């Protein structure tokens, strides 16, 4: 009965249900009890498995990524990172899934600069992002980081979790889209890289394959140039799921926009880059006229729905305005007045 | 189920180790294993922040952290903030009155402590940023901000500001129940469960309307080890029908055969705590057959609509009616008339403490320890459902983490009572946030229409009002709303010709009940927005128009009640005149310089009758002196944060003539304390306060008579003696030499007060209330015309409270009521099935409440204790209409469906642009 109510609560919500700060990675496969025992024998750090009345449930907290990937290869696990959506999704229901706790993977936390990329470890928290010195192109991401849930959420919620949860209202996604971010997906067998827009497939759907987990988010160095800004539109000041949000990054050379990246969240099943807006901005003087150019461009990528936070018409109307404001802010033509009421 | 593990970490500086499943929430480990119940659980989802603790110095939600993740860390909870004495921040919270009910206080203190470590003198924005993730429903946040900003100024020791004898009234001592609220020591409904209590789960309807049948419950129970029993309506020994208003009682504790609302309880599962934690109810043997449902009053009233209760034709629960003069003729003859319609939404109380409590048998008496606003009503309804004599049920109220009306109705009391009665074991239950939201009452959605007319001089001549209130599946307080609205829909204005009807209509929606104002906040939106339109048509200043029409001493109300004295609405409006002029000038200056954002200023008034409408609602207060020289006050007015523990004591102290510091309070436990009525209807300061005044006087009288002195004598307690001085003479009564009665008293008094009211006749004429309170508020705000968002700039609130018994607590009520009014105006819309949590249902955060300037007006009421009037509900009423009026001032558009969300505001702006 509790399950019914919980499911009905989100399932009948026609909107972008739930939050922008989720961090579970859920892989569903069949698991036999024999697999469970094998897993245990290989990893003495395991606290499980246990054979409960209804099902076999394993809990594992590996300390190296290789161990984690080996475990992932063995069967179906829910991955626990920051927990800020793991627990809300669980509600008061009993645990029935195997849980791979990746909080022992120290190597997955933190941001490093390589020759070619900025590499954000999967477990890096939003507070880590805010505190880490990064180029101005990351300002939008940092501003978004401060809007992910609350300070308490930001202190533990992971960047990768925000992506894996694949909420249309994920605050972290537009700021990464404008950085041409890609996700590093590892399994015991292989490592692959997917552009972020190819990783998030739809509302709560990702390209994550069985046995895989995100180990990092990578931003190619060329995309880490220019200046950026993030604008969030919500119905209250703090702790609010976005009605719409925009991240914009501009590279300005001699007063002319040479590169533009604009991404919108909460106005389509997956956050989108706005190609026509970006094209309209390129080559323009980086002054207040950018706003009109951005507003006049087609935004065909967007297909907002109506939900408890706002109507589709409202979103289409308001998003034009906040696109313009984010562009102006990125160009240094406007200060970051909080949009949220 | 996952195996347990030993997990070691540090809590408040002490190394601890617990053996728990590694995925157990840290909040549960702290509360259930370590019994550190200062960390609260409000939602288990990170939406309220009540469980905030510091992990290695950083705030986190303990409900979102696994025990495994806490391993090796240093955790700080509220219990770790005081180091032998209160921290400066804790003291500052008390000094500022920043804790009301106290349920969110531990989290705020913990998060603010982390901020102050880094920034000892934070700015307002820094405080807001640090505390933005913690919801408070009582205070309106402003005193919290001040307490944190001023923490560095707080003196090392807290001055409790306890007043001298005879000086209690009008002073603002630290609230008498304050210290446990800042130390984490306060015990709310879920904070003292016995370790051996059975845990109880409630099986609820997932459908708005459905029939159901159970399968083999016994077999199911047997197959689930640890389940002690399953209970259904068939197990209920008494009358399975409760309700706050006897003649309308219609709600089963456990539904029989079919459910009338989503979330209705149909069965209970009780078992050992760990077994219940691991119990999956998805195989519970119940088969549902969904039935057609109606959620809108218009559908419920359509011809041929199925009846939700067979005995209520047309799904009409009841209606209220007030008529005076000839409204049609008055409107026909008016120089100007205005008409309009306003719709409002379900509003959720969203107290941060979900319903919680436990029950156990003490001999043949059932004891229920739970949060509540109305212990005696809980006792009577629980006894009725369980087939017990009322003296075999004892209600022990815990601290209550906010109520605002919803905790007037029983919720879990008969459920845990049934389990305790049937099993003989203690039974404990804390509602989940979802369970609390789907199963308990809401503010009535209203669909209102009204027409108001005025003469050419700007005097209102007539008004007609009709309002349909969606009362949901069961009666609850629907009749009260239907009756209160017609009495109040005129606002505090002389309205010689008037007709108002309020109808409570059943649907399969959430049960609408009591919520701060009983329908009057909704009706006031209708009336006050029309008043702005009338002023506009008349070319009058909006404040002047209200002053011209407001009730005065000697006025008659729409129920024909002559108000001889104590009418303070004019004083409230007059006190706002200078603010109005300043705000209007500010707005004009801003608007002449801005095009994309426009500012507006709005005003609205309120009046509200204190206590039950034309019905008895007595309070009894017992107070006495014990041989040790303490004064024992049986303070039965449940303090849900508003401050009755302090206010009632202040009144009693000055009536008695002895100092506050000598008082010891006994709680509203029905076994030990007389009935002081429900904490509702803004009645406690007035009604229980009056009983406390009478009891204080009576006790004084007894002592004086014993000492054989006149009433001019001064009393003083000196150890176990009372010293009585009159002129040069001094008498000393050694209390230890006096006879002690069964309750331990050497002197005692008990007095009852019931406000003098008269019934309303068929036309709603009569004297429904003995005392009214008044107020008016100005809202200043800025609208982003491109986005439809509203930024509040300032609220100025003038409230006539008769006499501010405790000015700090009055301010706290005003600020908290305004915050709820802001929510109602701008963001709160409960939609069953869609907003059953605190991230889809939005209440104001610390960043949503602007500075509030409070102006206390004291026009004494001859009936109230020391002239005092009630104010708890009044303070919310003007806020939403003032905001809507200010939005119209800024934009030229009135939003006619609240909340005025960005979507609705922008749509109204676009519609206006299209018309031009």
- The pLDDT-based confidence of B156 (bands split at 50, 70, 90) is confident
Contact A153 B1 (CB under 8 A): no
b/e map of A36-67 (b: 16 or more CB within 10 Å)? beebbeebeebbbbbeeeebbbbbbbbeebeb
Segment B397-404 shows an average pLDDT of 98
User: Which of B446, B438, B547 lies closest to B492, judged by CA?
Assistant: B547
Contact B831 A308 (CB under 8 A): yes
Q: At what angle do helices B124-131 and B105-118 cross, to 10 degrees?
A: 130
Q: pLDDT, tens digit, for every residue of B721-742?
A: 999 999 999 999 999 999 999 9
Q: Cα(B845)–Cα(B843) distance, rounded to whole angstroms?
A: 7
User: Which of B912, B910, B844 lies closest to A321, judged by CA?
Assistant: B910
Contact B60 A103 (CB under 8 A): no
Cα distance between the two ends of chain A? 37
Q: State the nearest Cα–Cα gap between B839 and chain A, in angstroms.
A: 7
Q: Tell me which chain A residue has its CA closest to the CA of residue B277.
A: A94
Statement: residue B434 has pLDDT above 70:
yes
Closest Cβ opposite residue B65 in set A93, A156, A313: A156
- Sign of the dihedral through C-alpha B90, B95, B98, B100: positive
Closest Cβ opposite residue A83 in set B65, B203, B284: B65
Residue B618: count of CB within 10 angstroms of its CB: 17
Q: Cα(A238)–Cα(A305) distance, rounded to whole angstroms?
A: 23
Q: Which two tokens stand for residue A76?
A: 């179906």
Q: From chain A, pick out residues whose CB is under 8 angstroms from the CB of B791.
A: 341
Q: Cα(B888)–Cα(B884) distance, rounded to whole angstroms?
A: 6
Q: pLDDT, tens digit, for every residue of B561-598?
A: 999 999 999 999 999 999 999 999 999 999 999 999 99
- Helix (H/G/I), strand (E/B), else coil: B476: coil
- The pLDDT-based confidence of A70 (bands split at 50, 70, 90) is very high
Q: Which two tokens stand for residue A288?
A: 């207040």
Q: State the nearest Cα–Cα gap between B5 and chain A, in angstroms.
A: 7
Statement: residue B865 has pLDDT above 80:
yes
Q: From chain B, pick out residues whose CB is under 8 angstroms from the CB of A61.
A: 22, 68
Contact B902 A91 (CB under 8 A): no
Q: pLDDT, tens digit, for every residue of B289-330?
A: 999 999 999 999 999 999 999 999 999 999 999 999 999 999
Percent of chain A with pLDDT over 90: 81
Q: At what angle do helices B142-149 and B124-131 cross, to 10 degrees?
A: 110
Q: pLDDT, tens digit, for every residue of B607-648?
A: 999 999 999 999 999 999 999 999 999 999 999 999 999 999
Q: Cα(B641)–Cα(B872) distance, rounded to whole angstroms?
A: 11
pLDDT for A126 = 98
Closest Cβ opposite residue A341 in set B203, B204, B791: B791
For residue A292, which phi and psi values (nearest 5 degrees)? -65, -40
Segment B781-800 shows an average pLDDT of 98
- The pLDDT-based confidence of A55 (bands split at 50, 70, 90) is low
pLDDT for B84 = 87
Contact B46 A84 (CB under 8 A): yes
Q: pLDDT, tens digit, for every residue of B261-277?
A: 999 999 999 999 999 99
Q: From chain B, pick out residues whose CB is under 8 angstroms from the CB of A149.
A: 46, 133
Q: What does the CA dihedral B424, B186, B390, B684 come to, rounded to 10 degrees? A: -170
User: Which of A327, A231, A148, A305 lies closest to B787, judged by CA?
Assistant: A231
User: Which of A241, A313, A206 lies closest to A16, judged by CA?
Assistant: A241
Segment A310-323 shows an average pLDDT of 98
- The pLDDT-based confidence of A17 (bands split at 50, 70, 90) is very low
Percent of chain B with pLDDT over 90: 99
Q: From chain A, pick out residues whose CB is under 8 angstroms from the CB of B206.
A: 1, 4-5, 8
Q: Cα(B411)–Cα(B415) distance, rounded to whole angstroms?
A: 8
Neighbouring C-alpha atoms within 13 Å toward the C-beta of B207: 16
Q: Cα(B146)–Cα(B127) distance, rounded to whole angstroms?
A: 9
The secondary structure of residue B744, as a DSSP letter, is S
Statement: residue A337 has pLDDT above 70:
no
Q: pLDDT, tens digit, for every residue of B444-468?
A: 999 999 999 999 999 999 999 999 9
Q: pLDDT, tens digit, for every residue of A110-163?
A: 999 999 999 999 999 999 999 999 999 999 999 999 999 999 999 999 999 999
User: Which of B609, B560, B558 lies closest to B864, judged by CA?
Assistant: B609
Statement: residue B5 has pLDDT above 70:
yes
Q: Tell me which chain B residue has its CA closest to the CA of residue A53.
A: B1
- Helix (H/G/I), strand (E/B), else coil: B125: helix
Contact B133 A149 (CB under 8 A): yes
Between B2 and B429, the higher pLDDT residue: B429
Contact B278 A94 (CB under 8 A): yes
Contact A155 B58 (CB under 8 A): yes
Residue A202: count of CB within 10 angstroms of its CB: 11
Statement: residue A19 has pLDDT above 70:
no
User: Which of B686, B676, B647 lies closest to B750, judged by CA?
Assistant: B676
Closest Cβ opposite residue B66 in set A18, A83, A313: A83
Contact B58 A241 (CB under 8 A): no
């Amino acid at each position: 009965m509790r399950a019914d109510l919980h499911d009905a609560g989100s399932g009948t919500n026609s909107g972008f249900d739930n939050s922008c700060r989720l961090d579970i990675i859920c892989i569903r496969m069949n698991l036999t009890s024999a697999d469970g025992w094998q897993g245990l024998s290989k990893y003495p750090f395991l606290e499980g498995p246990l054979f409960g009345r209804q099902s076999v449930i394993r809990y594992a907290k590996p300390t190296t990524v290789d161990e984690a990937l080996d475990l992932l290869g063995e069967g179906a696990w829910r991955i626990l990172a920051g927990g800020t959506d793991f627990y809300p999704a669980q509600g008061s229901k009993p645990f029935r899934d195997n849980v791979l706790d990746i909080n022992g993977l120290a190597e997955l936390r933190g941001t490093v600069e390589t020759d070619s990329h900025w590499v954000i470890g999967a477990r890096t928290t939003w507070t880590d992002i805010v505190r880490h010195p990064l180029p101005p192109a990351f300002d939008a991401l940092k501003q978004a980081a401060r809007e992910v849930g609350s300070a308490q959420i930001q202190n533990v919620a992971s960047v990768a979790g925000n992506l894996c949860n694949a909420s249309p209202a994920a605050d972290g996604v537009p700021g990464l889209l404008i950085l041409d971010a890609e996700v590093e997906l590892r399994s015991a067998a292989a490592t692959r890289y997917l552009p972020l827009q190819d990783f998030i497939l739809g509302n709560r759907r990702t390209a994550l394959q069985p046995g895989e987990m995100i180990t990092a988010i990578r931003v190619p160095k060329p995309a880490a140039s220019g200046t950026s800004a993030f604008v969030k539109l919500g119905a209250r000041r703090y702790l609010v799921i976005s009605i719409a949000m925009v991240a914009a990054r501009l590279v300005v050379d001699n007063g002319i926009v040479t590169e533009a990246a604009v991404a919108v969240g909460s106005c389509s099943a997956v956050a989108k880059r706005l190609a026509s807006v970006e094209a309209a901005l390129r080559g323009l003087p980086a002054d207040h006229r950018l706003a009109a150019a951005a507003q006049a461009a087609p935004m065909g990528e967007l297909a907002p729905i109506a939900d408890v936070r706002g109507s589709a018409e409202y979103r289409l109307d308001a998003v034009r305005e906040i696109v313009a404001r984010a562009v102006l802010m990125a160009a240094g033509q406007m200060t970051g007045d909080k949009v949220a009421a | 189920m996952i195996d347990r593990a030993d997990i070691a970490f540090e809590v408040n500086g002490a190394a601890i180790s617990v053996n728990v499943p590694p995925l157990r929430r840290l909040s549960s480990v702290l509360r259930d294993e370590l019994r550190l119940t200062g960390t609260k659980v409000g939602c288990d989802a990170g939406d309220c922040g009540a469980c905030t603790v510091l992990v290695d110095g950083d705030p986190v939600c303990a409900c979102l952290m696994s025990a495994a993740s806490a391993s090796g860390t240093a955790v700080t909870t509220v219990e770790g903030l005081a180091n032998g004495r209160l921290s400066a921040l804790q003291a500052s919270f008390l000094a500022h009155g920043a804790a009301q009910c106290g349920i969110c206080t531990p989290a705020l203190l913990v998060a603010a402590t982390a901020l102050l470590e880094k920034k000892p003198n934070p700015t307002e924005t820094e405080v807001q940023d640090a505390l933005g993730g913690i919801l408070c429903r009582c205070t309106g946040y402003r005193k919290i901000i001040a307490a944190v900003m001023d923490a560095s100024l707080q003196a090392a020791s807290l001055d409790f500001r306890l007043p001298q004898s005879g000086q209690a009234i009008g002073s603002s001592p630290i609230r008498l129940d304050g210290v446990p609220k800042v130390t984490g020591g306060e015990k709310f409904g879920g904070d003292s469960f016995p370790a051996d209590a059975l845990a109880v789960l409630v099986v609820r309807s997932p459908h708005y309307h459905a029939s159901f049948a159970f399968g083999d419950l016994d077999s199911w129970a047997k197959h689930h080890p640890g389940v002690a029993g399953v209970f259904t309506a068939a197990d209920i020994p008494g009358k399975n029908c409760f309700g706050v208003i006897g003649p309308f009682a219609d709600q089963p504790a456990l539904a029989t055969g079919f459910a009338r609302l989503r979330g209705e309880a149909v069965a209970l599962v009780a078992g050992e705590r760990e077994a219940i934690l691991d119990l999956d109810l998805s195989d519970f043997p119940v088969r549902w057959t969904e039935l057609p449902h109606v959620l809108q009053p218009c559908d419920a009233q359509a011809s041929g609509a199925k009846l939700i209760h067979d005995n209520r034709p047309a799904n009409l629960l009841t209606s209220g009616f007030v008529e005076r003069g000839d409204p049609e003729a008055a409107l026909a003859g008016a120089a100007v008339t205005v008409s309009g319609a306003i719709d409002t939404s379900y509003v959720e109380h969203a107290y941060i403490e979900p319903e919680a409590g436990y029950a156990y048998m003490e001999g043949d008496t059932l004891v229920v320890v739970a949060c509540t606003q109305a212990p005696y009503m809980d006792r009577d309804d629980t006894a009725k459902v369980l087939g017990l004599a009322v003296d075999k049920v004892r209600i022990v109220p815990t601290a209550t983490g906010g109520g605002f009306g919803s905790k007037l109705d029983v919720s879990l009391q008969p459920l845990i009572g049934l389990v305790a009665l049937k099993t003989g074991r203690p039974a404990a239950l804390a509602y989940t946030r979802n369970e609390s939201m789907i199963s308990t009452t809401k503010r009535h959605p209203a669909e209102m229409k009204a027409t108001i007319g005025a003469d050419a001089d700007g005097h209102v001549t007539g008004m007609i009002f009709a309002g349909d209130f969606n009362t949901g599946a069961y009666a609850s307080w629907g009749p009260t709303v239907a009756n209160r609205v017609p009495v109040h829909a005129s606002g505090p204005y002389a309205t010689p010709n008037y007709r108002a009807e309020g109808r409570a209509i059943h649907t399969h929606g959430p049960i609408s009940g009591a919520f701060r104002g009983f329908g009057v906040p909704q009706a006031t939106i209708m009336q006050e927005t029309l008043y702005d339109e009338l002023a506009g048509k008349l070319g009058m200043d909006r404040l002047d128009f209200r002053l011209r029409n407001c009730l005065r001493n000697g006025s008659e109300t729409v129920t024909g009640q002559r108000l001889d004295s104590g009418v303070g609405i004019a004083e409230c409006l007059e006190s706002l005149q200078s603010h109005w002029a300043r705000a209007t000038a500010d707005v004009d200056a801003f608007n002449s310089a801005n095009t994309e954002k426009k500012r507006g200023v709005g005003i609205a008034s309120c009046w509200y009758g204190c206590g039950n409408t034309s019905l008895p609602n007595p309070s009894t207060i017992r107070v006495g002196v014990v041989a040790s020289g303490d004064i024992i006050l049986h303070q039965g007015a449940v303090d849900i944060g508003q401050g009755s523990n302090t206010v009632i004591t202040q009144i009693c102290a000055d009536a008695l003539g002895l100092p506050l510091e000598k008082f010891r309070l006994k709680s509203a436990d029905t076994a030990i304390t007389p009935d002081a009525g429900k904490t509702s209807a803004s009645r406690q300061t007035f009604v229980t306060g009056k009983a406390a005044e009478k009891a204080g006087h009576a006790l004084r009288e007894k002592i004086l008579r014993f000492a054989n002195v006149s009433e001019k004598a001064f009393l003083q307690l000196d150890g176990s003696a009372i010293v009585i001085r009159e002129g040069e003479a001094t008498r000393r009564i050694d209390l230890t030499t006096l006879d002690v009665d069964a309750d331990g008293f050497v002197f005692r008094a008990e007095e009852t007060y019931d406000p003098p009211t008269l019934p309303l006749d068929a036309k709603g004429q009569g004297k429904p209330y003995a005392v009214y309170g008044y107020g008016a508020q100005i809202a200043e705000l800025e609208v982003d015309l491109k986005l439809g968002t509203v930024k509040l700039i300032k609220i100025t609130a003038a409230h006539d409270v008769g006499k501010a018994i405790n000015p700090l607590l009055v301010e706290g009520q005003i600020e908290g009521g305004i915050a709820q009014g802001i929510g109602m105006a701008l963001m709160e819309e409960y939609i069953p099935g869609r907003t059953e949590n605190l991230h889809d249902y939005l209440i104001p955060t610390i960043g949503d409440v602007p500075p509030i300037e409070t102006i206390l007006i004291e026009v004494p009421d001859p009936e109230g204790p020391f002239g005092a009037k009630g104010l708890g509900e009044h303070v919310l009423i003007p806020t939403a209409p003032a905001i809507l009026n200010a939005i119209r001032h800024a934009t030229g558009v009135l939003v006619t469906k609240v909340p005025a969300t960005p979507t609705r505001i922008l749509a109204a702006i676009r519609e206006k642009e299209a018309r031009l």
